[in-house]
Structure 1
Amino acid sequence: MNRWVEAARPRTLPLAIASTILGNILAYVDGHFLWTIGALAILTTLLLQILSNFANDLGDTQNGIDNADRKVALRAVQTGAISPSEMKKAVYISALLAFISGISLLYISLQTASIEIILGFLVLGILAIAAAIAYTVGKRPYGYMGLGDLSVFLFFGLVGTVGVYFLQTLEFKFVTFLPAAGCGFMSVAVLNLNNLRDLENDKKQGKLSIPVRIGKTAGFLYQKFLYILTILSFGLFPMLNHGTPPTLMQSSTMLAAFIPIALLANKLQPSLTPAQIDPYLKKTALITLWLILVFGFTQIFLSE
């Protein structure tokens, strides 16, 4: 059981549900919230993340990315703790569970929606499952071409937040794209740290992540730019949502979320080794969840 828990990478799960929690918070603030929809959305997201982690473990080993040169954050298939055939079965099972959970979510939330919207969300769900697998599995995984950042931004930012908001409210609200983008930027920040940690090995194996393409120094500048975009996205939301600047209390409360991001950005320097970079993945994921919770507090209790 321990080997499967490790392969599921529990430290990635708080980040995975951040956008789903954010979408539920935004819907609750606007007076639309059902616990069944919220819970199923979180469950589906968790299953998709576990699917992605299992597929990543399998694909990176099969494609030679996870090899003897990898010394930090060793993977289950790479070390032999789980065989490739076992992991392949786990990928199939987790994909099936994610599909069942997703279908249940759509059935409950879209009963009064048009057939076009139902089909649109069904296609979106299938694409999410395909994206989780194709990131590293197959002959031409898109994660090896530097497209992982875009996929993470879309699915763990825009789709996760705006999609859940729609499932709760049955309406799109353009301003929700701002915090959704902020959540997406933080998710990309975690992926970029992962790629900075693995930069040298990825370069040897031909995995063209963003840091491999632009270099380590520029990769850390990109990391800090993502943090800046996050703060701007969440900071602008109250003014655009209500048409007035945030109150002093709201601004002061949000500082409790923004200051850890700034402190984290200050500590990330190109001189860090892979082993020194690795802990910051978990820290960034937890700070993302903290950001969402603080933001939710300001919207629920400090609005009006």
Structure 2
Amino acid sequence: MDNNLSSKKQAWLHAIRLRTLPLALASILMASFIAWSHELFKWDVFILAALTTTLLQILSNLANDYGDSIHGADSDDREGPIRAVQSGIIQPKEMKKAMILFGALSFICGLGLLYVSLDSWVIFFTFIGIGFLSIFAAVNYTSGTNPYGYMGLGDISVFLFFGLVGVLGTYFLHTMSFSKSLLLPAISLGFFSTSVLNINNIRDITSDQLAGKKSIPVRIGRKAAVRYNWTLIILGNLSLILFSILEENYGGLLALSVSPLMINIAYNVGKKTQSKDLDPYLKKMAISTLFWVLAFGIGLVVFS
């Protein structure tokens, strides 16, 4: 019985995918660092935004585990880590209940975030709409009758929500203002987050083909997907350089110190052909992105 309980706990931890949570927090950190450098940082906004984003990411991970198992992407042909529903340790009904729980928690936490941040009903309901879109995007990536991840639209969703929406939305809640220049660091983070998804999809290209999941690597082929990964990483760093030049604020360029790690990841993603060998680079790219954001923020706050 103890072994069964231990296995179930491990299955839930695998389903939550703790290694993805640092990437989810990156947009909150980036926006908060910029708000701090503008002397407009708010602790309550930061804490509630971080908690809401973490809950949404967990919801997305649970929905992905459930959806890929139901639609066949997590089959016996898949070479990546075994998923909770696929393994049979967690039943689909249990996963659905967990998805409802984390969906409700993220919505409640998001309401708290908006309550402490906003005093305009128009803006409040605008952000409520964004919140519902975020929950919809988290659940319907691989779940539902027409999961958009199976149509190759996951990259666009990740770019928007992990980059533009995450950074610009959090900054607005800190400051009640918006600056066009923020688009560039938000774009950087969007590119890096999309790279994490792309590496995941390169790893799963064979099983995705069998399941009819038309991810970008399935659509364009492995070689082109590797070049696409290089492009995402290069453009992400170029966006930072352009931001620094336009703002005449060069402290954030400290983030370029993390670029060698990303270049090494891109090189190895191109070199490794076995799924088991590619899997570690998902975690490495996610952590490198977090380090990039931390270096960006420290440079922005300390050296500007």
Q: Alignment partner for residue 53 of structure 1, among 58, 61, 66?
A: 61
- 2:106 corresponds to which residue? 98
Deviates more, 1:62-71 or 1:171-180: 62-71
TM-score by length of 1: 0.95
- The CA distance in 2 between the partners of 1:189 and 1:164, in whole Å, is 22
- The CA distance in 2 between the partners of 1:178 and 1:144, in whole Å, is 29
Q: Alignment partner for residue 239 of structure 2, among 223, 233, 240?
A: 233
Whichever residue aligns with residue 278 of structure 2, its letter is I
Q: Mark the runs of 5 or more structure 2 residues left unpaired by the alignment.
A: 1-8
- 1:133 corresponds to which residue? 139
- 2:163 corresponds to which residue? 157
Q: Alignment partner for residue 198 of structure 2, among 185, 192, 204?
A: 192
- 1:76 corresponds to which residue? 84
- 2:129 corresponds to which residue? 123
Whichever residue aligns with residue 213 of structure 2, its letter is K
Q: Alignment partner for residue 182 of structure 1, among 175, 184, 188?
A: 188
- 1:36 corresponds to which residue? 44
Say whether 1:67 aligns with 2:75: yes
Whichever residue aligns with residue 235 of structure 1, its letter is I
* Helix, strand or coil at the partner of 2:270: coil
- 2:220 corresponds to which residue? 214
- 1:272 corresponds to which residue? 273
- 1:286 corresponds to which residue? 287
Aligned length in residues? 296
TM-score by length of 2: 0.95
- The CA distance in 2 between the partners of 1:277 and 1:159, in whole Å, is 29
Whichever residue aligns with residue 135 of structure 1, its letter is Y
| Aligned 8 A contact 2:199 2:269 in 1 | no
| Aligned 8 A contact 2:226 2:270 in 1 | yes
What per-residue deviation string (whole Å, max 9, x for no partner) do you get for residues 130-165 of structure 1?
110011111110000000000000000000001000
- The CA distance in 2 between the partners of 1:117 and 1:235, in whole Å, is 32
Whichever residue aligns with residue 124 of structure 2, its letter is I
- The CA distance in 2 between the partners of 1:280 and 1:271, in whole Å, is 10
Whichever residue aligns with residue 189 of structure 1, its letter is S
Whichever residue aligns with residue 21 of structure 1, its letter is L
- The CA distance in 2 between the partners of 1:184 and 1:67, in whole Å, is 30
* Helix, strand or coil at the partner of 2:184: helix
- The CA distance in 1 between the partners of 2:23 and 2:255, in whole Å, is 19
* TM-superposed deviation, 1:204: 1.1
* TM-superposed deviation, 1:270: 5.3
| Aligned 8 A contact 2:24 2:54 in 1 | yes
- The CA distance in 2 between the partners of 1:60 and 1:25, in whole Å, is 36
* TM-superposed deviation, 1:34: 1.2
What per-residue deviation string (whole Å, max 9, x for no partner) do you get for residues 251-288 of structure 1?
4x333122212222222215521111110000000000
- The CA distance in 2 between the partners of 1:62 and 1:259, in whole Å, is 39
- The CA distance in 1 between the partners of 2:269 and 2:62, in whole Å, is 28
RMSD, aligned CA: 1.3
- The CA distance in 1 between the partners of 2:117 and 2:266, in whole Å, is 39
What per-residue deviation string (whole Å, max 9, x for no partner) do you get for residues 1-56 of structure 1?
33212210000001111011111111111111111110000000000000000001
Query: How has the CA–CA distance of structure 1 residues 51 and 175 changed in structure 2, closer, same or farther, with 3 Å as cutoff?
Result: same
Dislocated runs of 4+, deviation >6 Å: none
